[in-house]
Structure 1
Amino acid sequence: MNTENKLIHLENVQKDFQFSGAFYAQKGNETLKGSNGFANRSEKIVNQVNTRFAIASGCKIFTSVAICLLVEDGKISFDTKLKDCLDIDFPNFDEDITIHHLLTHTSGAPDYFNEEIMDDFEMLWNSRPMYHIRSPKDFLPMFQNEKMQDRLGSSFQYNNTGYILLGLIVEHVTECSFAEFVEEHIFRKVDMKNAGYFEMDRLPERTALGHIEDSEGTWKTNIYSLPAKGGPDGGAFVSVEDMVRFWQALTNHQLLSMKMTEMLFVPREIVDEEDNIYYGYCGFMELDDSKKVVKYIQMGYDPGVNFRSVYYPEAKKIIVVCSNESKGAYELLKEVESIL
């Protein structure tokens, strides 16, 4: 199938799936990209390839890279303890929690959004106004005085609190806001011109609103479902091309040295032994039976947000899919994978 026919096929698939969002795939000299659905359903403004989309936890890798930059500068190490990084009191936390534990979801810290007992992110805002959450420190009342969720160094347990803490470390070490640090040292450095940590009530042009379908088949936006501004554990906005640029820059050592990039990509924790899914500082990854990495995986889920991205190191293949609805990115990504 030539490129033109692949694009026609994917255009039809998007319509069949009723997909809302955009995709971008790159392998060698071949590029596939497209979009479908509405960035704003009420105004019938259509999604474009350069539309900015929220990517939820898909931006945890930006936090990891920010930490790696500080490690390279000698300001911290992966073995630095949390208590030595922050002047904030966590009375019930294990004093031996390190940056490594936070990066690998093995700290046992109390997760402010424990996905094992809560499956609806909107429930967090029943007792606290989401419009007050605009920086990492605003999350502190949600976990600061809670007891440990598990013992330190326990097996992998996905933990959003760990990445809030990493963001607070970035702010303390750099004396700069987390968002400003990432925007300057990652986004601007690699020409991710559409990317940023935008406030939900101050969105720039070409930004897709997240849409949520209720049980009656009607739609609402997600402005009351998420923090007013995203941060270290999720909530950045990017275009699909921005994420392709990010993968290219990261793997070509434009952000980190070769040695540090290799450390970022090392498999460290088993997530699913049967399917050979591991986790490293860079996020999820799939290994083959010989324990060689097949692909690196980024994903993000929020009400009205669905994101998937993969990088195949052997083939240098990159696929990015952003959706401004709660589902659809995974299904379209599998379709792109099958024909690229």
Structure 2
Amino acid sequence: MKTAPRKEETMEYRLDQAAEEGGFSGAAGADTGDGKVQTFAWGLADRSGERKNRPDTKFGIASGCKVFTAVAILRLVEEGKLSLESVLAECLDETFPNFDRNITVHQLLTHTSGVPDYFDEAIMDDFEELWKELPMYTIRSPADFLPLFRDSGMMFGPGERFHYNNAGYILLGLIVEQASGMRFTDYVEKHVFRPAGMKDSGYWPLDRLPSNTATGYIDEEDGTWRTNVYSLPVQGGSDGGAFTTVPDMHKFWDALLGRRLLREELTAKLLTRHAADEGGDGYGYGVWVDMEDGRAERIHVMGYDPGVSFHSAIYPASGAVFTAASNKSEGAYPMMEAFEGYLQSTEGNQ
């Protein structure tokens, strides 16, 4: 007869402890592999109005939505409108005078294209500096980013190495628009959100957010805070900035793994490690792929912006899924660590 776990051994206790220690503000969802999603929430969605976060609160997810862009591209590949080996000049009417002619869709998906980035996270740490050159309130579509990088030179030759690149995903968004004849956000709504049942997800402008959306907060060193409304593009797109809920993100993984978004071949390609950074972290199409003994141990997406931190992961061996979304600049990763600690403890007891 199995005895009930002590309070400190439960997942809820571990997550509560991590949330308290880190001052986490947001929501989390956990599926230990049985298909049942437990949801939790901490902190305030609106500090001025003292509105609490709920498990179904909508959060910005920054780069966490690059995987939606990858699915959109692969859907067009399935339809025969693109190939993974299509080169940029075949996909876009836009001209890029200093870009290599041999950049492929595959390289854009895997951050190995070498195109110049409008925000190079390896050398830049202040996202807000960008908007001195191009006001954030003018950014409402992928094309609006082009002045930030279109005339710049290549960072390295196509396929030479991995270098995380936001501009590459802007180009992918433009490719989706040209190949489909639809706005990027409309295409994702039709071919990702609707098939997955993600009714609480969208690319809403910061000046038109729907109800039950968390405001992003930037905490200053002197103890004051401000919202992130002047720190981000007014509307997200193909490189980041969508809004979703914890339950919707679990619906996304379920639809992807259930082959309801893509067929078997391209689903497998999306989840396969194609490249790796200098630290050995692997990347598929829009997802990070952490390997252990030659197998994918964790496949995950993450996003960080001022007032946004987000992680969502699947664990192929156990079938577990975890998501943490926060309306603060940090905090999602320690929540994922707490969940993984719980998973490891249960494996030891089996």
Q: Residues 2 and 203 of structure 1: is their aligned pair in 2 closer, same or farther, counting only changes over 3 Å?
A: farther
CA-based RMSD:
1.4
TM-score (norm 1): 0.96
Alignment partner of 1:303 is 2:288:
no
Secondary structure at the aligned position of 1:124 is classed as helix
* Residue matched to 1:316: 319
The question of whether the paired residues in 2 share the 8 Å contact of 1:194 and 1:242 is answered with yes
TM-superposed CA distance for 1:127, in Å, is 2.1
Deviations 1:91-137 (CA, angstroms, capped at 9, x unpaired):
00001111011001111101000112211111101222100000000
Alignment partner of 1:174 is 2:180:
yes
* Residue matched to 1:57: 63
> Which sections of structure 2, spanning at least 5 residues, go unmatched?
344-350
Alignment partner of 1:11 is 2:12:
no
The within-5 A match list for 1:141-180 is 141-180=147-186
Q: Which amino acid aligns with 1:15?
A: E
Distance (whole Å) between structure 2 residues aligned to residue 9 and residue 293 of structure 1: 25
Q: Residues 3 and 247 of structure 1: is their aligned pair in 2 closer, same or farther, counting only changes over 3 Å?
A: farther
Alignment partner of 1:278 is 2:282:
yes
> Which sections of structure 1, spanning at least 5 residues, go unmatched?
none
Deviations 1:6-27 (CA, angstroms, capped at 9, x unpaired):
3244234322321100000112
* Residue matched to 1:288: 292
* Residue matched to 1:331: 334
Secondary structure at the aligned position of 2:112 is classed as coil
1:137 counterpart (126, 134, 143): 143
The question of whether the paired residues in 2 share the 8 Å contact of 1:3 and 1:32 is answered with no
The question of whether the paired residues in 1 share the 8 Å contact of 2:26 and 2:42 is answered with yes
1:43 counterpart (45, 49, 52): 49
TM-superposed CA distance for 1:213, in Å, is 0.7
Percent identity over the alignment is 47
TM-superposed CA distance for 1:70, in Å, is 0.3
Q: Which amino acid aligns with 2:332?
A: A
The within-5 A match list for 1:81-96 is 81-96=87-102
Alignment partner of 1:21 is 2:26:
yes
Distance (whole Å) between structure 2 residues aligned to residue 29 and residue 141 of structure 1: 45
* Residue matched to 2:346: none
The within-5 A match list for 1:225-240 is 225-240=231-246
Alignment partner of 1:121 is 2:124:
no
Distance (whole Å) between structure 1 residues aligned to residue 6 and residue 146 of structure 2: 49
TM-superposed CA distance for 1:288, in Å, is 1.0
TM-score (norm 2): 0.93
Q: Which structure 1 residue ranges, 4+ long, deviate > 3 Å from structure 2?
A: 1-5
* Residue matched to 1:208: 214
Distance (whole Å) between structure 1 residues aligned to residue 331 and residue 150 of structure 2: 35
Distance (whole Å) between structure 2 residues aligned to residue 70 and residue 182 of structure 1: 11
How many residues align? The count is 337
Deviates more, 1:118-127 or 1:163-172: 118-127
Distance (whole Å) between structure 2 residues aligned to residue 207 and residue 285 of structure 1: 30
The question of whether the paired residues in 1 share the 8 Å contact of 2:141 and 2:235 is answered with yes
Q: Which amino acid aligns with 1:312?
A: Y
Alignment partner of 1:198 is 2:204:
yes
